[in-house]
Chains A and B, each alone.
Chain A
Amino acid sequence: MADPRTVPTLTIYIPTMDRSPFVRRLLHYYASTGFRHWIFIGDSSGPEHAERNRTAAAMFQDRLKIVYRECPGLSSCETVEQLSTMVSTPYCVLQGDDDFLCPPGLERCVTFLEAHPDYGAAHGAGLRFQTESNSPHGVIGTVASYPQAVVESPTGSQRFLELLTVSPYALLNSVHRTSIWQAMFRGLAAMNGVRNRNVFKDELMAACVSVICGKVKELDGLSLIRQTHTEDSYRFPHVYDWITDPDWCASYQIFDERLIEELIRQDGIRREQAHVVIRRGLWAHLSHEVIGTWRKEHAHRSGVAPSRLRTWAKRFPWLRRVWRAVRSRVQRYQDACSLPALLHPSSPYHAGFLPVYSVVTNEPASVMPHQVMADARRDPAMVGAE
């Protein structure tokens, strides 16, 4: 077995569209961590961003193993489909251009999959964060846990239902075996849609094929840090818009056919049985999405008035500073995924989080590893972290 720390065993796929500052940040991050595996960039950007991305890729060519391909007019998962024929490593993983994967966490996943052939994918813990300005660099605001799928039922049908009825269904940032990976993204070009407007095409199909093909394990340690945005052109459409999109039905039929094929192959069941399984799972997923969205948007129409204590306390700025200091100290102990906890060396995620923190909170040219803690100490978000 090849040692994933020295031999490239993994390919990271990065689809991107019109977000060159994030691509540059990401390449800087991987260069700063000494990442040894392959990075495939599928770029659907317009000319301006594509030119910047090409330049950034060339700039890091001597420090990173980068394959850069322009994929104009393709959606995120479609770029993966196009690039997946070029893969030479036994494992693959997807990441957004604004997210980060932690190399030690990825290597743990590779080691696990080498030792457990009954598993198709693995990941470590996930975090999500937001910068206060929503830009690639700036002060980090909220940090929270980002749950990912854990699916361990014995058959493909059971795993499919487990994914869509019980488990969180974020799965594409898990390390996958390449054979499964290629199956996950096969045939996506048959569906319409770019900019993640088609959920079947750009998430659901690949995630469902993944669990039908194998189990998914969550390991200790950090593997994923996602950036979320208040405004995001990559965001999936509102569920109502998805269901009423003109491509909805045609995409559903392709999804159904593709999963039937996988279930028959995996479980040896009849076509009709496979169709019933898919119908049951997708129905559960739809009802969960629709009712969740409706509740979020309409359940608290009137909103909650701020308490009198809060209104009174706002009159004293020093009280607010004290409160923040106290809260961050309490958070450090109570919430393992809070920023104060992550910045403290006692956190199990500290080592994985720190390079990300550094690259986000500092402009690329100024970051040096030894500066990280010093910078962090100066950051107002770190009050009480030590």
Chain B
Amino acid sequence: MTRLLSDQLTVLIPTYNRYPRLRRLLRYVRSVDLPYRVTVLDSSSDSMDLGELREGLSDRISHVRYEPSLSPVAKLADGLRRVATPYVVVWADDDFLVPAALGEGVRFLEEHVDYSVAHGQAGLFRVASNRESAAMQWIAPYRQPSLTQETASERLRDHLRHYSVIAYSIHRTESMKKTMECCRTYDFGYTWGELAGGSLSVIQGKVKQLNDLYMLRETHPGMDSWREPGQPIDVFDWVTDPMFPITYDAFRRCLAAELARQDGISVGRAEAVVKEACWSYVATVLTVKWQAQYGRRQSQARDRLREAAARLPALRQGGRRLQALLQRYREPLSLPALLHPSSPHHADFLPIYRAITAPPSEPLPVTGSAHGVPGAMTEAAVHG
């Protein structure tokens, strides 16, 4: 049995007051001729010329407006209710997903019923931009591991101990709908919602990381601009928030019920597992974020060397070339490596690179079929 790609996967793009990034994304989507249904879930209060937006839309891309006051969780839950395909992926408006990897992920989930989530290799990038153009500064690996333990308890422990965001991975639609409804029922809000959503997915099934380039995420100061008003802004505020004890209790009950069902254990035992896993997450995130904010920098000698080298342009240029060369060979998800034709991800990366760096006025070449998306230009079939 075969199915059209557009019948297999739906892309949901939640957006809030980031139209420049949404325009950039839609330009990329057009350039790769994304073969899936796309729904933009837009609760922006900013105004954008609708004609300009329509330019980025096509018959496969729909645009749904929401009240700006609507919470991200409620908006996503509504978006999910509109999804009719068996798989769904949430695509943040500042990120880039690779169509070929989406196809591979869907294929994998079709063939492996014990898996609930699939994704591939991912990177984090930063852009330096002015009005005319943008330059990619660097790309670094972004952790998206596999979780293949046999029991849900083991997967949950591993997931929260070595936490990674799986909200942007490919999910089974029915499971994700259930998860979002659960988050809405318990009124988790954004931070607890992301934790609970990922944890419930991990409890429901295994997680697979495929070898393809799957996603590049942009890091920028406005990453959390759509967060609900009044919500904690960092981990310390989260822990000292008056709602923390109450929501922690709801989180534990919610996950324990699902865990007990999945592993066939008592609710009491499941609650103990959730407690252990949750506190390993809190411990790690409190420590890591404190270090990031207040910890002493280790490499002061290296900084001084760098400052000295910055005064000698020739040395600086030489240093950069050497660094790029080293990165190309040592780090497959670095900018120099991805830009080189020998990289296995080069063809998937180029359309992203162009969408970021080409001036907005310059049309992007349509590259969909050139990099192995099965039938990207037409909506071809994959095995169902």
List the interface of chain A (C-beta within 8 A of B).
240, 243-246, 248-250, 252, 279-280, 282-284, 286-288, 290-291, 293-294, 297-298
Contacts and interface: CB of A to CB of B under 8 A. Distances in A.
B245 A252 contact: no
Nearest to B252: A244
Given A243-B239, A283-B236, A291 B245 contact: no
Contact of A290 (B245, B279, B294): B279
A244 B245 contact: yes
Given A244-B248, A287-B290, A252 B240 contact: yes
A290 B249 contact: no
A282 B240 CA distance: 10
B286 A240 contact: no
Contact of A240 (B240, B241, B279, B294): B279
Interface of B: 236, 239-242, 244-245, 248-249, 275-276, 279-280, 282-284, 286-287, 290, 293-294
Contacts of A282: 236
B287 A291 contact: yes
Contact of B276 (A244, A245, A280, A298): A298
21 contacts: A243-B245, A249-B242, A249-B244, A279-B236, A280-B294, A283-B286, A283-B294, A284-B290, A286-B236, A286-B239, A286-B286, A287-B283, A287-B290, A291-B283, A291-B286, A293-B283, A294-B280, A294-B283, A297-B276, A298-B276, A298-B280
A249 B280 CA distance: 21
A51 B186 CA distance: 50
Nearest to A247: B245
A170 B316 CA distance: 51
A251 to B, nearest CB: 10
A269 B280 CA distance: 36
With a 10 A CB-CB cut-off, give which of A249, A252, A287, A291 has the most chain B CB atoms: A287
A156 B290 CA distance: 21
A296 B166 CA distance: 29
B240 A290 contact: no
B186 to A, nearest CB: 16
With a 10 A CB-CB cut-off, give which of B239, B240, B245, B283 has the most chain A CB atoms: B283
A240 B249 CA distance: 12
A272 to B, nearest CB: 15
Nearest to B249: A244
Contacts of B241: 249
Nearest to A244: B245
Given A244-B244, A249-B242, A290 B236 contact: no
